[in-house]
Amino acid sequence: MFDLECKAIEEHATYSPEQTQKLAAKFTSSLKLGDVVGLVGQLGAGKTQFVKGMAQYFGYTENVNSPTFVLMQIYSIEGKDQSIKQLCHVDAYRIVSSTDILNIGIEEYLGRQDTLVVVEWPEKIVNIMPQNTIYIEFSLGMENENKRLITIKKPEK
């Protein structure tokens, strides 16, 4: 499903949540507005920690988590980059039907030039993910419980 034609594949390893956040902040600095990012990986792989780092890049220091009853959260951003207004964080884990997809309201945010959209569990809503989504795959490293392998796949434009 995610075997895209890639322009660039970057492989990273991190050894703490903080390192994952730092990697996310650096990655975010390379994004352009309107980009959509899909985070793929099992429960506890580090997807939400990564989103936290993305938000930190914009100076957003409030809580970032995977809320139990909310599928989408909007983090308002002021300051760092005048042109970005918000980071839209979707966690599609609980999506079971196409009606649920429509109910999230994500489509309002996709492709907007003042917004970045980041989706955990994009495979649950693959039919509405844009073609040029940047997918990032997370997996657990073997030799250490805090090791994570993080592969960034930028699609061919």
Ligand X SMILES: Nc1ncnc2c1ncn2[C@@H]1O[C@H](COP(=O)(O)OP(=O)(O)OP(=O)(O)O)[C@@H](O)[C@H]1O
Task: State the residues that interact with ligand X by CB under 6 A.
Answer: 14-17, 19-20, 41, 43-49, 66, 93, 120, 146, 148
* Nearest residue to ligand X, by Cβ distance, number only: 46
Pick between residue 54 and residue 77 the one whose CB is nearest to ligand X: 54
Pick between residue 73 and residue 132 the one whose CB is nearest to Mg ion: 73
In whole angstroms, how close is the CB of 44 to ligand X at the nearest point?
Answer: 5
In whole angstroms, how close is the CB of 121 to ligand X at the nearest point?
Answer: 7
Pick between residue 5 and residue 143 the one whose CB is nearest to ligand X: 143
In whole angstroms, how close is the CB of 66 to Mg ion at the nearest point?
Answer: 3
Helix axis angle, 47-57 to 17-29, nearest 10°? 50
State the alpha helices, DSSP H only, in the chain: 17-29, 47-57, 98-104
Q: Find all residues with CB under 8 Å of 98, minimum gap 6, and list them.
A: none
User: Which residues contribute to the site for Mg ion (CB under 5 A)?
Assistant: 47-48, 66, 120
Q: How far apart are alpha carbons 24 and 48 in whole angstroms? A: 10
**Across the chain, which distance is largest between two alpha carbons, in Å?**
43
In whole angstroms, how close is the CB of 68 to ligand X at the nearest point?
Answer: 11
3-state helix, strand, coil in the chain (%, to 5): 30, 30, 45
